[in-house]
Chain A
Amino acid sequence: MKGSSDKKLKDELKQLIIDECDLDIGIDDIGDDDVLFGSDSPIGLDSVDALQISIAVQDKYGLVITDSKTLRKVMKSINTFADFVRPE
C-alpha cells in the first residue's frame, strides 16, 4: 500500500512532525494535503524544521535525504511525505 493511502502511517508522520518541531497542535490540525513549509502554509515550518524532521526520519525509518531540494519536495505535504516513506 502506498504511504498516502495509509492513515495510520500518516498519523504517525503527523505526530513525528508535531513532536520534532514542538508544535502546539494535534494531528487533526494537519490536513493530508496541507502545505507544510513557508509563509503560505497553515503550519508554517521553516528550513531548520525540515532538517530536524530529516534527521528524525533517518533515525526512525533509516531513510536518508542528503540535499535540501529533495527534502523540500518530499515534505511538500503529508501525502508526499508518506509516499516517500513508503513508495508502494
Chain B
Amino acid sequence: MYVHSSSAFICDPVDTIDGMKEDLKKYTDYYFRRINKFIMLSLMGVHQCIHASPVSPSAAVYLATENGNLGDTENVLEQIYRKNSFPKPFNFINTMSNTASFYVAQSLKTLGRSITLSSKNVSFERALELAKTDFELNHITEALVGGVDEAVASLDERCAKNHESCHNIRMVEGSCWLRLKPEKDGAAGEIIDVRTFAEMKAAARWIEGAAGSPVTLAFGIFTTPADRIEWRHALPGAEEFDYLSGYGYYDTAAALAISAFFLRFSGRSLVHANMTADGQHIVTVCKSY
C-alpha cells in the first residue's frame, strides 16, 4: 500500500467546534450541519489529507477510533434520564459513530466502502489490515484510513498502566489520515507491513530483517520501558521519534505517529512498536521516499 498523502490534525481540547467549522471552510465549500465534535474532527483530518485534490468515486473510508463520539451519548442519556424527554434525533443519530465516516464519504463524494472500526489500543493498525485485505482482493483502488478520537480526561489512568510517567504529555483532540493507493507513482512512501507477535523476542528477531535503513523508531504509549530497551537493542543506531512528547496524545495516536512520519521525514524507514490490550506486540513498518 502506497501512501499518497497524509495529515496530522491535532488541537488542544475544545468545548465547541465553532472554530474548527471556520477552519474547515479553507479546505471545502461544503457546509456541514447537525454534526458533533467527533464528526468535525474526522472532517478536519481527512480534508487536510486530501487538500482539495480529486478522490476516486469508489475510494474506501476506514475510520479507526477507540471511543467514537463521547458527547452525543452523554447528551442522549441526559435527555432521557435527567430531562425525562426523548433524545433529540440528531444527537441519537450521531451516537452511532459511523455517521462520521458517512460525512467523510459525502463530502468527498465517494460511494466506496465505509467502515468504522475499533480494537483496544491498536484500532489504527487494525484499520490498516482491513485496507490491506481489500487491496489484496482488488476490491478497492484507493483508501482513506484515519485514526480519530476526542481528547479524554483520563490520561493519568492510562499512564499508570504504562508504569511510566507521562506528565509531560498533553492530551489532544486528534484526526490523522493516510491516503493509500496500490500505485507507487507519485507516492510519498509505503506501508510495508503490520505484524502482531505474542513474544517480544520473536518481534525483535523479525524486525532485524524487516526494518530498512536509516531507521526511525517510535513507541505507542503502552509499550513498557523494558520492551523499549529490547526494541532499541534490536535496532541499534535507530533514531527515535518521540511524537507523543512533540505533538501530544490521543487514543488512536498510532495514526499520528505514522502520518507525522510521512510529513516530516523522507528517505527513512519507520518502525512503530505498539502493544495490544492483551499484551501482544504490534509493529507497523513504513518507508518514506
Contact = CB atoms under 8 A, between A and B. Distances in A.
Nearest to B85: A59
13 contacts: A21-B33, A21-B34, A22-B33, A22-B35, A24-B33, A48-B89, A48-B90, A48-B93, A51-B89, A52-B34, A55-B89, A58-B85, A59-B85
Nearest to A22: B33
A71 interface: no
B83 A52 contact: no
A74 interface: no
B31 interface: yes
B26 interface: no
Nearest to B35: A22
Contact of B83 (A24, A48, A59): A59
Interface of A: 20-24, 48, 51-52, 55-56, 58-59
Contacts of A56: 88
Contacts of A20: 88
A52 B89 contact: yes
B88 A58 contact: no
A72 B83 CA distance: 25
A58 B86 contact: yes
A32 B177 CA distance: 45
Nearest to A24: B31
Instruction: Report the interface size class on chain B.
Output: 10 to 19
A50 to B, nearest CB: 9
Contacts of B83: 59
A59 B91 CA distance: 15
B31 A55 contact: no
Contacts of B86: 55, 58
* A-B pairs, 9 with minimum CB distance: A22-B33, A51-B89, A52-B89, A22-B34, A48-B89, A55-B86, A55-B88, A59-B85, A52-B90
A52 B79 CA distance: 13
B88 A52 contact: yes
Contacts of B88: 20, 52, 55-56
Nearest to A58: B85
A52 B86 CA distance: 10
Contacts of A22: 33-35, 90
A47 to B, nearest CB: 9
Interface string B17-37: 000000000000001011100
Given A20-B88, A22-B34, A55-B86, 12 more contacts: A21-B34, A22-B33, A22-B35, A24-B31, A48-B90, A48-B93, A51-B89, A52-B89, A52-B90, A55-B87, A58-B86, A59-B85
